[in-house]
Structure 1
Amino acid sequence: MLGVLGGMGPLASADFMRQLTLLTRAERDQDHVPAVLWSDPRVPDRTAARLGQAEDPLPMLMRGIRGLEQAGCRAVAIPCNTAHGWFDAMQAATTLPILHIVDAAREELERLEVGEGPIGLMGTAGTLAMGLYQGRIGRECLVPEAALMDSHVSLGIALVKANRVREAYAPLAEAARILRGRGARAVVLGCTEIPLGIAAGEALEFPVVDTVAALARAAIRHVGYASA
């Protein structure tokens, strides 16, 4: 049984469950991964917490993990990049293995056969400030400058969270193209809202890593199923 600690945001969690289903090699209901989704959007804002502008989300994150433990789950996936800033504290407080979304993104870069060289990285201001990817993914990361974050990336993420997904495509796609123009071999969509915005328009003409799909693939493999 896979536990999914979600609600950050709700649409990204729903997309994770969709990807978990679509990416599992299955012919019937019984071939799919048993899973429990704990979707609680009341978790305090992770980026604001890291910037000292909101309360610590760890107690609410642990409340969800305890619920997944009680439901009989044997592993946890968290379809929220910024929440992984509390990964060590969460993992230390549970015996359940928690899959790390950055590790899943690294595996996806390998699956896509992205060659040597820098990658672009888009994410929340909190994710970038914490260096979640920069120290773990094993590649040079090109990140948006502050002005591009404000005008494009953070705007696009906010639009998805407000269910204005189609409007999010233009700023997010433009930010990804700018990173590509700076020499990125691929662009990692390191916020689980960003793939939703990117999917709302024309496909980009270079490799991107959808961290929702990457985490779903990693979860499928971890619990012993075959991914498509």
Structure 2
Amino acid sequence: MLGVLGGMGPMATVDFMAKVVRHTPAARDQDHIPMVVCSDTRIPDRGPAILGEGADPFPALRETLRRLEAAGATCIAIPCNTAHFWHAALQAESGVPILHIVDAVAAALDREQGGEIGLLATGGTLAAAIYPERLARRGFICRTPDAAGQAEVMRGIALVKAGELDEATAILRRQAEALVAAGCARVVMACTEIPVALGPVEGPLRAALVDATEALARACIRTCRAQADGSAAPLAA
């Protein structure tokens, strides 16, 4: 059973769940992945905590993890990139495997030949360097927006959380296009709010976008199906 440690934010959690359902090969209800979801919107903001400007979310993350374990989860997904700053600490508290969203993205990029990858993420994710180290193992270098562009990314993310999707889409599209214009063949949507806004985007930009939420969903499907079959599989392979 897949445990979803969610609520960061709630719309992103629903988007993740929909992608698990959409990408699961199924002809009937029973073919889908069983999920238990805790969408706990009370978890303190992750970015400010990383930057030393807010409450520590780890106790709330750990408590939510405990609830999922008690409900019978056999693997855990966290559809929030910034929360992966606490991934190792959470995994140390649990015998249930917690999939890592960056490893899932790396698996999605596996056929790429390395090079420069654009990264649209929160300031907390960037400050924590959650992506560069893991992607560097695959030969990728991460490029991020400049200071003004990053401020716009954060404004776009805030607009998604507020339900202002049209404005968020326009802002985040401009920033993704700027990274492509700077030479990035692929741009990772490394905040789970961003695919909510850029989902409607079509044309050349669509081919460049890498959806971290979708990559995590696909990794969860592979892992849960392997668990059901009784076989061992890499968590994000």
- Please say whether Structure 1 and Structure 2 have the same fold, judged by a TM-score greater than 0.5: yes
TM class, shorter-length:
over 0.9
Q: Residue in 1 aligned with 2:124?
A: 126
CA contact (8 A) 1:119 1:140 kept: yes
Residue 4 of structure 2: SS of its match in structure 1?
A: strand
Q: Residue in 1 aligned with 2:50?
A: 50
Q: Residue in 1 aligned with 2:235?
A: none
Task: After TM superposition, give the deviation of residue 52 of structure 1 in Å.
Answer: 1.3
Residue 215 of structure 2: SS of its match in structure 1?
A: helix
CA contact (8 A) 1:114 1:186 kept: no
CA contact (8 A) 1:115 1:185 kept: no
Which residues of 2 match residues 91-110 of structure 1 at below 5 A? 91-110=91-110
CA contact (8 A) 1:165 1:200 kept: no
Measured in 1, the distance between the counterparts of 2:84 and 2:61 equals 10
Measured in 1, the distance between the counterparts of 2:83 and 2:2 equals 18
Measured in 1, the distance between the counterparts of 2:193 and 2:143 equals 19
Q: Residue in 2 aligned with 1:137?
A: 135
List per-residue Cα deviations over 1:106-157 (Å, max 9, x = no partner). 11112xx43331100110000001100011112100011111111x211110
Measured in 1, the distance between the counterparts of 2:211 and 2:54 equals 28
Residue 96 of structure 1: SS of its match in structure 2?
A: coil
Measured in 2, the distance between the counterparts of 1:40 and 1:91 equals 19
| Amino acid across the alignment from 2:211 | D
* Aligned positions, number: 223
1:219 counterpart = 2:220: yes
Residue 135 of structure 2: SS of its match in structure 1?
A: coil
Measured in 1, the distance between the counterparts of 2:225 and 2:207 equals 31
1:79 counterpart = 2:79: yes
| Amino acid across the alignment from 1:213 | E
Q: 1:185 to 1:17 in 2, by over 3 A?
A: same
Q: 1:200 to 1:164 in 2, by over 3 A?
A: farther
| Amino acid across the alignment from 1:66 | R
Q: Residue in 1 aligned with 2:232?
A: none
Measured in 2, the distance between the counterparts of 1:50 and 1:187 equals 23
| Amino acid across the alignment from 1:127 | T
Measured in 1, the distance between the counterparts of 2:101 and 2:145 equals 20
Residue 170 of structure 1: SS of its match in structure 2?
A: helix
CA contact (8 A) 1:157 1:168 kept: yes
| Amino acid across the alignment from 1:80 | C
Could you list the runs of 5+ residues in structure 1 that have no partner in the other structure? none
Q: Residue in 2 aligned with 1:209?
A: 210
Residue 132 of structure 2: SS of its match in structure 1?
A: coil
Residue 209 of structure 1: SS of its match in structure 2?
A: strand
Instruction: Give every structure 1 segment of 4 or more consecutive aligned residues whose post-TM-superposition deviation is greater than 6 Å.
Output: none
Residue 135 of structure 1: SS of its match in structure 2?
A: helix
Q: Residue in 1 aligned with 2:5?
A: 5
Measured in 2, the distance between the counterparts of 1:166 and 1:114 equals 32
Measured in 1, the distance between the counterparts of 2:108 and 2:201 equals 22
Residue 132 of structure 1: SS of its match in structure 2?
A: coil
In the superposition, the TM-score normalised over structure 2's length comes to 0.91
List per-residue Cα deviations over 1:35-91 (Å, max 9, x = no partner). 101100110000011111111000000011000010011110000000000011100
> Percentage identity across aligned positions?
49
Could you list the runs of 5+ residues in structure 2 that have no partner in the other structure? 230-237
Measured in 2, the distance between the counterparts of 1:75 and 1:201 equals 32
Q: Residue in 1 aligned with 2:24?
A: 24
Q: Residue in 2 aligned with 1:33?
A: 33
Measured in 2, the distance between the counterparts of 1:69 and 1:116 equals 37
CA contact (8 A) 1:114 1:185 kept: no
